[in-house]
């Protein structure tokens, strides 16, 4: 697959139009032998959705980041599908689907944990009177549900490299905007007028930064001035949406590069004003702390591991928090009150830009408060503190602060906790090994007991089966006769009157009951013979 991609790039994409401006109504169609994408690279569930839509008489294509990443030899995070079927028509074809969104109506087709997103072609025609297309006072599009054709949909997309359509029926790529040419140049070019497109959706500014950091592409020179001019529009974006966009910037494997590009385009001060102000007043260590945290998150992403949002946000907001905390304590405010007040002030301002969920804030507060406990000079029971579920994250954060050279005391406490934690880990390992040995010993003993218990029960059953017939025979010999014989009452018929002999005989019977069984049998036989 890599060889195909290299050959594809080496050919120079001879089918490109030499950098001319794209003409939306005249697409360039690239056959399967001119690009490396094949149907087998597409997820099974995405293929199921596309093929069912095609069989129902609709046109459906892969579009956007999935096509772009496959052309670049990257593993797509997901596959987006676009079709001429309307949401209600899509919903009828898939019982395992639901219609979502108000601004953009989409259909999510659910396959367990995998979600396949299906959108309808959107029109480039704007009718201000239509209830399906609405904007606010700043020009931000609040509703865009006017449906159109594939060529109109291509012109509604943000960047040319995201306006490539892949048809699974013949494995062709449909390019309306010259996206493949821009991909060869490793260039990010916006579709349409930048000012109008940024007014429609300011998040496109952050998307340009993210693609620049993720793909290593260069933003088109014609786009740099509009980004600087309209960067304040990001303040009008929903804080909840901004929270998600920040996570995409910093937690998808290119956080350190995103931070650098945000600083270069003067966008970081829009997203994190308190942090930017604190970093401007400090020297290298604070910046190194943030960069090192993002660098570690990038390494985890490359290893297929996830990073916690609270750890990244805790790193981003640590400097304004600790600066405010030190200011309050210098004014004589008590430790607990100063920490609570500093936390509230930092989150109150940041909340206006990016909403931080409550559970994330609680984790950040624990992370910060544990820093003070780890910095304490006297700790009576360090092993008890290490059992805290947030200790490992707080310990890693302390090491980052030490690597940044925050202070000599932080470095000293980090070295102390390194020794304590190594001993603690060794103790945990020894305890775990001991538990494993005990568990293996218990399992062996349990198996041994089961085997012995089965043998004993088998022997007991065999013995009972041997004894039962003998007991039946003894009872039968006392009371029953051979089959075919009539039962005979051997007791003599006597008168109803009670005599001395009767009383004597009754006393003999009472005594006979107290005697052993064998003797009573012989006595009974002798008595019967006497009678």
Which pair of structure tokens corresponds to residue 457? 């029960």
462 is catalytic: no
Give the DSSP letter of residue 220.
P
3-class SS letters over 279-328 = HHHCCHHHHHHHHHHHHHHHHHHHCCCCCCHHHHHHHHHHHHHHHHHHHH
Say whether 158 is catalytic: yes
Distance, CA of 490 to CA of 237 (rounded, Å): 111
Among 158, 175, 182, 298, the active-site one is: 158
Phi, psi of 351 (to 5 degrees): -60, -25
Does the annotation count 33 as an active-site position? no
Sign of the alpha-carbon torsion through 275, 279, 284, 286: negative
The first and second tokens of residue 2, run together, are 């890599």
State the Cα–Cα distance between residues 271 and 244, nearest whole angstrom: 12
Instruction: Work out the number of other CB atoms within 10 angstroms of the CB of residue 124.
Output: 15
Any idea which residue has 């079927």 for tokens? 85
Calpha distance 156→240 (Å, rounded):
24
Beta bridge partners of 134: 143
Q: How far apart are CA 378 and CA 382, in angstroms?
A: 9
Give CA torsion, residues 184, 190, 193, 195, to 10 deg: -140
If one counts every other C-beta atom within 10 angstroms of the C-beta of residue 378, the result is: 4
Reported as type and span, the H/E element at residue 221 is helix 221-230
Say how many Å lie between the first and final Cα of the chain, rounded. Answer: 112
**d(Cα 515, Cα 87) in Å, to the nearest integer?**
97
Angle (nearest 5°) at CA 17 between 62 and 183: 50
Nearest to 271 by CA among 239, 226, 310, 225: 239
- Residue 517, Cα to own-chain centre: how many angstroms? 78
| Distance, CA of 326 to CA of 406 (rounded, Å) | 14
State how far the Cα of 167 lies from the Cα of 158, in Å rounded to an integer.
Answer: 20
Using alpha carbons, select from 51, 64, 70 the residue that is nearest to residue 106: 64
Catalytic residue among 78, 151, 167, 220: 78
CB atoms near residue 382 (< 10 Å): 17
Strand arrangement, sheet containing 60-63? 28-30, 172-175, 164-167, 60-63, 80-83, 114-120, 106-111, 97-100
Give the residues across from 147 on adjacent strands: 122
Residues with catalytic function = 78, 80, 158
């Amino acid at each position: 697959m890599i060889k195909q991609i290299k050959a594809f790039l080496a050919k120079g994409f001879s089918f490109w139009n030499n950098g001319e401006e794209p003409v939306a109504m005249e697409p360039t169609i690239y056959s399967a032998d001119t690009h490396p994408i094949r149907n087998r690279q597409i997820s099974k569930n995405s293929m199921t959705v596309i093929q069912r839509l095609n069989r129902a008489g609709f046109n459906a294509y892969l579009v956007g980041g999935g096509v772009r990443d496959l052309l670049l030899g990257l593993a797509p995070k997901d596959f987006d599908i676009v079709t001429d079927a309307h949401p209600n028509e899509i919903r009828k074809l898939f019982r395992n689907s639901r219609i979502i969104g108000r601004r953009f109506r989409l259909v999510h087709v659910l396959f367990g944990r995998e979600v396949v997103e299906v959108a309808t072609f959107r029109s480039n025609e704007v009718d201000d009177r239509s209830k399906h297309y609405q904007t606010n006072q700043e020009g931000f599009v609040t509703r865009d549900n006017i449906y159109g054709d594939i060529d109109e949909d291509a012109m509604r997309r943000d960047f040319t490299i995201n306006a490539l359509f892949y048809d699974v029926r013949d494995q062709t790529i449909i390019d309306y905007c010259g996206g493949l040419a821009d991909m060869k140049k490793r260039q990010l070019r916006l579709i349409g007028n930048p000012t109008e497109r940024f007014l429609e959706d300011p998040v496109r500014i952050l998307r340009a930064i993210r693609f620049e950091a993720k793909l290593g592409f260069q933003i088109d020179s014609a786009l740099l001035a509009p980004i600087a001019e309209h960067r304040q529009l990001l303040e009008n974006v929903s804080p909840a949406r901004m929270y998600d966009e920040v996570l995409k910037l910093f937690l998808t494997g290119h956080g350190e590069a995103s931070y650098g590009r945000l600083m270069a385009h003067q966008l970081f001060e829009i997203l994190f004003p308190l942090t930017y102000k604190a970093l401007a007043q400090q020297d290298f260590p604070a910046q190194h702390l943030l960069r090192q945290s993002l660098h570690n998150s990038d390494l985890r992403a490359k290893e297929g591991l996830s990073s916690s949002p609270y750890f990244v946000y805790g790193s981003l907001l640590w400097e304004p928090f600790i600066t405010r905390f030190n200011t309050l304590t210098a004014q004589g405010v008590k430790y607990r009150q100063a920490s609570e007040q500093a936390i509230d002030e930092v989150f109150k301002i940041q909340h206006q830009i990016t909403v931080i969920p409550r559970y994330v804030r609680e984790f950040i507060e624990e992370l910060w408060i544990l820093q003070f406990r780890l910095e304490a000079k006297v700790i009576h029971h360090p092993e008890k503190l290490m059992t805290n579920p947030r200790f490992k994250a707080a310990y890693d954060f302390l090491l980052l602060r030490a690597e940044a050279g925050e202070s000599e005391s932080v470095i000293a406490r980090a070295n102390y906790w390194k020794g304590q934690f190594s001993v603690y880990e060794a103790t945990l390992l020894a305890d775990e090994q001991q538990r494993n040995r005990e568990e293996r010993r218990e399992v062996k003993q349990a198996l041994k007991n089961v085997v012995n218990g089965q043998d004993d029960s088998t022997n007991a059953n065999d013995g009972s089966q041997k004894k039962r017939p003998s007991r039946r025979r003894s009872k039968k010999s006392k009371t029953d006769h051979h089959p075919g014989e009539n039962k005979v009452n051997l007791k003599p018929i006597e008168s109803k009157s009670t005599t001395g002999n009767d009383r004597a005989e009754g006393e003999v019977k009472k005594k006979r009951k107290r005697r052993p069984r064998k003797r009573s049998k012989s006595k009974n036989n002798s008595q019967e013979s006497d009678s």
